[in-house]
A and B are shown apart, each in its own frame.
Chain A
Amino acid sequence: MSPMFYLYLSAVLFTLGAVGVLLRRNAIVVFMCIELMLNAANLALVTFSRINGNLDGQIIAFFVMVVAAAEVVVGLAVIVAVFRTRRSASVDDVNLLKY
């Protein structure tokens, strides 16, 4: 099986994630879409690692996972805090910080 298919899958997953971030209002869903984009990137990194025959891509994928885990912790805490004060998880309702 050609490694290129993994890259196509990665691109499709990333696009799905990006579209979801741009179109969905629910903060949880937006969050999940971001995770989707991160994992698409991971998939691409691992694939490139395979193509090039070294471990650089796999190592970076581990770093991405660590960052994603940390992000989940902070992000979910923010979402919960926002929901408690505003009774809403819509990202469009959180728009006080503007001109």
Chain B
Amino acid sequence: MLTTHAASGVFSVTWLIIAIPLASAAVLILGGRRTDRWGHLLGVAAPLASFVLGLVEFATLVGKPEVERSIDNHVFGWTIVEGFHADIGLQVDALSISFVLLITGVGSLIHIYSIGYMAHDPKRRLFFGYFNLFVAAMLLLVLGDNYLALYIGWEGVGLASYLLIGFWSYKPSAATAAKKAFVVNRVGDFGLSVAIMVMFATFGTFSFTGVFSAVHGADPATLNAIGLLLLLGACGKSAQVPLQSWLLDAMEGPTPVSALIHAATMVTAGVYLVARSAPIFDLAPTAQLAVTVVGAVTLLFGAIIGCAKDDIKKALAASTMSQIGYMILAVGLGPAGYAFGIAHLLTHGFFKAGLFLGAGSVMHATKDEVDMRRFGGLAKPMPLTFATFGLAYLAIIGFPGLSGWFTKDAIIDAAYHKGGTSGFVLGSAALIGAGITAFYMSRVVFMTFLGRPRWEADVHPHESPKVMTWPMILLAVGSIGAGYVLMLGGRFANFLAPVVGHSEEPSVQPASTAGLVTLAAMVVGVGIAALMYLRRPVPAVAPAGSFATVAARRDLYGDAFNESVFMRPGQYLTRLLVFFDNRVVDGAVNGIAAFFGGFSGRLRYVQTGFVRSYALSMLGGVAILVAALLMVRG
């Protein structure tokens, strides 16, 4: 399981997968205005080239026998000193190549869509530069063969997300949101960096093979500590409770950015981290339980927030939080869930990108309106957007036969199969989450596309140009087909097995009891949404709502909690420190200076200008010296 093979053939140029978008990003960011005319074309070509290279590698990898499907590619020695060796190497295996295809595939579609969406933005070229940087950093994150390379990619993703969320930085809200995302991510990054330090202190290496072959026989307490710290890192990047607060504000960025962050890059990094660290988590039951709890709490948290948001992008963002919760829950279940978590991640990549691009298309048509209370009846002027959005919607709520049905049901089933009280609680949470997902996603679709038109008089909705609709169509196709490709016959689970381990559970049948109950929950959710938002007219101004609605509108008081627990005490602490610095430290320094200033001011008056007084002091001094000399010698 842990053996890797030296790279040869197409695998020896794996570094190009990262280097192409990185070079393109450098050209676009440093090239300035002279690249404006063709910058977007270069920006689209780079991830497409990486995608083609990834496809070739994937095909070659599948053609190899199972035991040889982990190829290590040493790129260069980064830091080599006595007793410390940090190499940058790339590892191509089932897990990383799946992510490469998702990142470059879905990422390329979002790039193409952005040509149309950002057509009128004067900084479109720069936008594509940041996009390519984002993709390159994410590719390094998933391809690195050690935790240090992963960490570089991890930080690169954080930087790129900061640049893109704050892309319209002339808006104070966007600048603040970017800062917030960056700061919250730092908390998670802290966890990851400490985890890597503990690993190095314990095992003396960063490399996946080195660490994973040393975990057997390691102290369980150390492994649990590493696992919990890795979980903290995953929480930050994947917007899991308690580090979820940045994700909803991140909607301030342009819509393709949201699609890229939520579908192909960034938030999937936490799931990847946990899945990649499978050998550690398998031996750290406490950390693993914490992972599942975080996943279950977040999937309900996100779902509840999603029910109350009137902003279409924020509703979708809450749904991302919830869906990532499913994935985290799945990868926390151990070998039984890794494949399902990653599979859900891949199918989610298709339908969530489709949903966001659809939302962007709607905004494009309605003068950047995001309030769903001002949409309604958009299905007629925008049939293509409605069709693709609708298919992605059916996929996310788990409509039978679409991709979400395969992967989400598998996760719920796997959670119930965990057994014991925890299995029942986790499974039920996932089940309830599925019902709520059906409700709030139906709410989004009903309020946006169905019902009576509620848009302003000067808005004339129209279908988006082809460059935007084609990516949406391809993503809709993926939303339908990905489930069959990945899940039928346990194909994906077998493909991933060399990396994350075999599942002892029999492959999950969609028609199991849990599957039927999930289906019932979905129907109930859609039904309630239909009663509330199809039968009754949607008021143009949000009603006051119950206590629960108000709480959900305010992100379940996540920001209020952070402000009262961390921000205010932090401010008080800094104020105290400033006071201490001003009064005590500065006081001591200034006091000493004032003392010597005053003392020497007095001492100055000894200099009278009278020669005879100087002569007297000289005589006195000499007399004292002589007396002292005599006493010492005597």
The chain B residue sitting closest to A92, CB to CB, is B610
Spot the interface stretch: B159-167, B488-496, B590-598, B611-619.
B611-619
A95 near B608 with CB under 8 A, answer yes
Is A22 a contact of B604 with CB atoms below 8 Å?
no
Contact indicator A98/B615 (Cβ below 8 Å): no
Task: Please measure, in the bound complex, the distance between the C-alpha atom of A22 and the C-alpha atom of B612, giving whole angstroms.
Answer: 5
A13→B605 CA distance, assembly (Å): 33
> A99 at the A/B interface (Cβ < 8 Å)?
yes
A25 to B611, CA, bound (A): 10
Residues of B within 8 A of A74 (CB): none
Smallest Cβ-Cβ distance to B604: which chain A residue:
A99
Interface assignment of A69: CB less than 8 Å from any CB of chain B: no
Pairwise interchain contact B612-A21, C-beta atoms closer than 8 A: yes
List, in ascending order, chain A residues with CB within 8 A of B539's CB: none
- Nearest-neighbour CB distance to chain B for A90, whole angstroms, equals 10
Give complex CA distance A5, B417 in Å: 121
Q: How far is A96 from B615 in the complex, measured between Cα atoms in Å? A: 17
Tell me the chain B residues, 581-634 only, with Cβ under 8 Å from chain A: 604-605, 607-612, 615-616, 619
Q: Is A73 an interface residue (CB 8 A)?
A: no
Least Cβ distance of B549 to chain A in Å? 80
Contact with B along A69-99 (1 / 0, CB 8 A): 0000000000000000000000110111111
Asked if B609 and A96 make an inter-chain contact with CB atoms under 8 angstroms apart, the answer reads: yes
Question: When chains A and B are docked, how far (Å) is the Cα of A96 from the Cα of B609?
Answer: 6
Cβ contact within 8 Å between B612 and A92: yes
Contact assessment for B615 and A97 in the assembled complex, using a CB-CB cutoff below 8 Å: no
A95 near B612 with CB under 8 A, answer: no
Question: Cβ of A22 and Cβ of B605 under 8 Å apart?
Answer: no
Q: Bound complex: CA of A34 vs CA of B607, how far in Å?
A: 22
A91-B612 in contact given A18-B619, A22-B619 (Cβ < 8 Å) = yes
User: A97–B614 Cα gap in the complex (Å)?
Assistant: 12
Q: Please name all residues of chain B whose beta carbon is closer than 8 Å to the beta carbon of A18 when the two chains form the complex.
A: 619
CA distance A97 to B607 in the complex (A): 8
The answer to whether B610 and A95 touch across the interface, beta carbons within 8 angstroms, is yes
A25 to chain B, nearest CB (A): 8
Task: Give the bracket for the number of chain A residues in contact with chain B.
Answer: 10 to 19
- A16-42 interface mask toward B, CB cutoff 8 Å, 1 = contact, 0 = none? 001001110100001000000000000
- Chain A positions within 8 Å of B604 at CB level: 99
Which residue on chain B has the smallest CB distance to residue A18? B619
Interchain nearest-CB distance for B599 vs A (Å)? 14
Chain A residues contacting B605 (CB-CB under 8 Å) are 99
CB atoms of A98 and B608 under 8 A apart: yes
Nearest chain A CB to B223 CB, angstrom units: 75
A14 to B609, CA, bound (A): 25
Q: Given A99-B604, A99-B605, verify A22-B616 contact (CB < 8 Å).
A: yes
Q: Once the chains bind, are B609 and A22 in contact (CB under 8 Å)?
A: no
* Structural contact, A22 and B610, CB atoms closer than 8 A: no
How near does chain B come to A1, taking the closest CB pair, in angstroms?
A: 27
Shortest A97–chain B CB gap in Å is 6
For the complex, what is the distance from the CA of A25 to the CA of B609, rounded to whole Å? 14
How many angstroms from the CA of A96 to the CA of B610 in the assembled complex?
9
A68 to chain B, nearest CB (A): 17
Nearest chain B CB to A79 CB, angstrom units: 12
Residues of chain A with a CB closer than 8 A to B615's CB: 21-22
Q: Which residues of A contact B612 (CB under 8 A)?
A: 21-23, 25, 30, 91-92
Contact between B619 and A98, CB atoms less than 8 A apart = no
A83: shortest Cβ distance to chain B, in Å?
Answer: 15
Contacts of A96 in B (CB 8 A): 609
State how many angstroms separate the Cβ of B625 from the closest Cβ of chain A: 15
Alpha-carbon gap, A4 to B22, bound state (A): 100
When distances are taken between beta carbons in the complex, the residues of chain A under 8 Å from B611 are: 30, 91-92, 94-95
Within the complex, the shortest CB–CB distance from A19 to chain B, in Å, comes to 10
Cα distance A18–B616 when bound, in Å?
A: 9
Q: Which residue of A lies closest to B605 (CB)?
A: A99
A98 adjacent to B616 (CB under 8 Å)? no
* Least CB separation from B612: chain A residue: A22
Shortest distance between the CB of A99 and any CB in chain B (Å): 4
Which residues of chain B are within 8 angstroms of A21 by Cβ–Cβ distance? Answer: 612, 615
Instruction: Kindly state the separation between the CA atoms of A98 and B616 in the bound complex, as whole angstroms.
Output: 16
**Measured between alpha carbons, how far is A21 from B619 in the docked complex, in Å?**
10
Contacts of A94 in B (CB 8 A): 609, 611
- Taken together as a complex, chains A and B put the C-alpha atoms of A98 and B612 apart, in Å, by 13
Chain A residue at smallest Cβ distance from B619 = A18
Q: How far is the CB of B630 from chain A (nearest CB, A)?
A: 15
Q: Bound complex: CA of A23 vs CA of B605, how far in Å?
A: 21
What mask results when residues 541 to 574 of chain B are scored 1 for a CB within 8 Å of chain A, else 0?
A: 0000000000000000000000000000000000
Q: Which of A23, A92, A99 contacts B607 (CB 8 A)?
A: A99
Q: Does the CB pair A95–B619 fall under 8 Å? A: no
Q: In chain A, what residue has the closest Cβ to B622? A: A18
The residues of B that contact A99 with a CB separation of less than 8 Å are 604-605, 607-609
A25 to B, closest residue via Cβ: B612
B residues lining the A interface (CB < 8 Å): 604-605, 607-612, 615-616, 619
Q: State the A residues within 8 Å of B (CB).
A: 18, 21-23, 25, 30, 91-92, 94-99
Cross-chain pairs A/B with CB under 8 angstroms, 16 sampled = A21-B615, A22-B615, A22-B619, A23-B612, A30-B612, A91-B610, A91-B611, A91-B612, A92-B611, A92-B612, A94-B611, A95-B608, A95-B609, A96-B609, A98-B608, A98-B609
Known: A22-B615, A95-B608, A99-B607. 16 other contacts (CB 8 A): A18-B619, A21-B615, A22-B612, A22-B616, A30-B611, A30-B612, A91-B612, A92-B611, A92-B612, A95-B609, A95-B610, A96-B609, A98-B607, A98-B608, A98-B609, A99-B608
Closest 8 CB pairs of A and B: A98-B609, A95-B609, A99-B604, A91-B611, A99-B607, A98-B607, A21-B615, A99-B605
